[in-house]
Amino acid sequence: MSEKILSTDEKALSVNLDETKYGTFAEIGAGQEVVRHFFQVGATAGTVAKSMSAYDMKFSDEIYGNCDRYVSRQRVVQMLEHEYSLLEERLRDTRGERSTFFAFSNTVAAQSFRGGRDCHGWLGIRFQLTPQAAPSDIILHVRLLDETNLQQQDALGIIGVNLVYGAFFYRDNPREFIQSLSDNLGHDRIEVDMIQFLGAGFEEVDNRILSLMLVQEGLTKSALFNTEGKVSQPAEAFYKKAILVERGSFQPVNNVHIDMLRCAKERFCKLEDVDESEVCVLFELNLASIGDGKEIDLSDFLSRVDTITALGHHVLISNYLEYYRLSSYLRTWTKKSLGIVLGLSNMADIFQEAYYENLGGGILEAFGRLFKQNVKLYVYPMTHASFKKYQEIRRIPEDDAPLQLESLQGVPVITATSYRPATHLKPLYQYVMEHDFIESMDNFDPNCLDVVSRDIISKITHRDQDWEKDVPAEVAEIIKTRKLWGYSD
């Protein structure tokens, strides 16, 4: 992007002065804050064909049709379809040859005078790339982070103008478009947690990569893909669901990941408020596990997503390094039980005080945040050799974490029950164990204990066909068909 960032009014005026752009604004909730900018800068007659708002539900339904939820993707798409079709129907003959038509819509739940609501909205623009061309769509879901209604209205107006301007001037550069969404806003006032480019001209755009860019550029801390591998909105996937989440690098997802999930789910579904048919299973890829900053191998990233969704699971990309931040994020969407699946080494990391130096209350504050709302850790065991390797990597003195082996299913392992943290943390560990915040899994498959992702990649690149037994059949098929991670016939 250029160093100079245009103001919101400068962006609106640039659109107004372009005689080829002509369209409609339809806004529900938080006032008509986007079109206001286009009116106040002047020269609006050359850009705005109509501006409207239908706040009353009956009026809204009569215009756009019925929908289950008024602040939803369904509603904003209905609005775009209706308004754009009217433009074409009424103006195609008079100015279709010289204008690129557009319809901008939003439906928003901003802060009410009572307060306490989840403030969010859907914004979209349907527009032509050239006169008489088939239309394209850009759709966003945003969360409004300001505290007052007036501040949220202001933020909505700014990001709406950024969306309209970006659609016309940055559409060929997705990263520049995403960066421009926070112009004149920063990252503290609004969060963009879903984005889609759809339709003519965007056939080659992969919306999963756009979602990754949202996380990279700081517009959101997370992005979600559904079981079909498509970009999804967390409220739609997590609403009133019990959630079971497993964190990993999943390069590739393998039998030990699946066994960890199976073991945890068997225990998780026995909880009182958990209905197995409504459990949302989630694999989480932390941004740190797939690259540093913007230096991410996009093909490798998509390969990990595709192999997970092939197994019928959601994928969450997040920038939440600490587990308490991950649990707090998921608590935004549901109050039902939350289970976190992790290996013993990951649990041992949680008891490393160095991770909490940025918290005033240190490890005690972190644990208070992690376990305060119906959260449980399900911990998968490790062999003695694997845990020793972990200690060497983390440079943990054995005196601080003495190894105590436990024999389960004929295999000597270290479990959450036999694990011992540093001496001064033992009372804390005893407390979380006695209150069932941590559960040790003993229903594991012994054959999975020695499966290691990096060993699988090595076998694939060295054409050792033994790798196939370490991954689910669906994953093996994708790796071979698409020749992932260096596979060769």
- Do 76 and 13 lie in one domain? The reply is yes
User: Does 293 have pLDDT greater than 70?
Assistant: no
pLDDT band at 237 (very low <50, low <70, confident <90, very high): confident
User: How far is C-alpha 474 from the chain's CA centre?
Assistant: 24
469 lies in some domain: no
Same domain, 26 and 173: yes
Same-domain pairing of 73 and 162: yes
* Residue 4 CB coordination number (10 Å): 7
459: in domain = no
Alpha carbons 386 and 415: distance in angstroms, whole number: 12
Of 53, 50, 36, nearest to 91 by C-alpha is 50
- Shared domain for 25 and 147, answered yes or no, is yes
Over residues 54-64, the mean pLDDT reads: 87
Span 151-167, pLDDT tens digits:
999 999 999 999 999 99
449 in Cβ contact with 411 (< 8 Å):
yes
Domain assignment present for residue 454? The answer is no
The answer as to whether 109 is a domain residue is yes
**Coil, strand or helix at 129:** coil
User: Residue 407 class from Cβ within 10 Å (0-12 exposed, 13-18 middle, 19+ buried)?
Assistant: exposed
Which DSSP letter does residue 446 get?
G
Residues 221 and 184 sit within 8 Å (Cβ to Cβ): no
Enumerate the β-bridge partners of residue 380: 343
Please tell me whether residues 206 and 323 are part of one structural domain. Answer: no
Domain count, the chain: 2
For residues 214 and 82, membership in a common domain is answered with yes
**Could you write out the DSSP letters of every residue in 400-433?**
TS----EEETTEEEE-TTT----GGGHHHHHHHH
Whether 486 is covered by a domain: the verdict is no
First to last CA, the chain: 43
Gap between the Cα atoms of 282 and 309, Å rounded = 10
| 453-462: pLDDT as tens digits | 889 999 999 9
Examine residue 483 and state whether it is found in any structural domain, yes or no: no
- Give Cβ neighbours of residue 257 (< 8 Å, ≥ 6 apart): 246, 248, 250, 283
Task: For residue 307, give the CATH number of its domain.
Answer: 3.40.50
How far apart are alpha carbons 252 and 306 in whole angstroms? 10
If asked whether residues 106 and 183 sit together in one domain, one would say yes
pLDDT at 12: 96
36 lies in the same domain as 116: yes
Q: Are residues 202 and 299 in the same domain?
A: no
- Smallest CA-to-CA distance from 215 within 267, 268, 293 is with 293
pLDDT in tens, 165-199: 999 999 999 999 999 999 999 889 999 999 999 99
273: confidence class by pLDDT, cuts 50, 70, 90: confident
Residues spanned by the domain of 386: 236-448
Examine the domain organization and report whether 240 and 185 are in the same domain.
no
Q: What is the average pLDDT value for the chain, to the nearest integer?
A: 90
CATH number of the structural domain spanning residue 96: 3.90.950.20
pLDDT in tens, 340-393: 999 999 999 999 898 898 899 999 999 999 998 789 999 999 988 888 888 787
| In the predicted structure, residue 313 carries a pLDDT above the cut 70 | yes
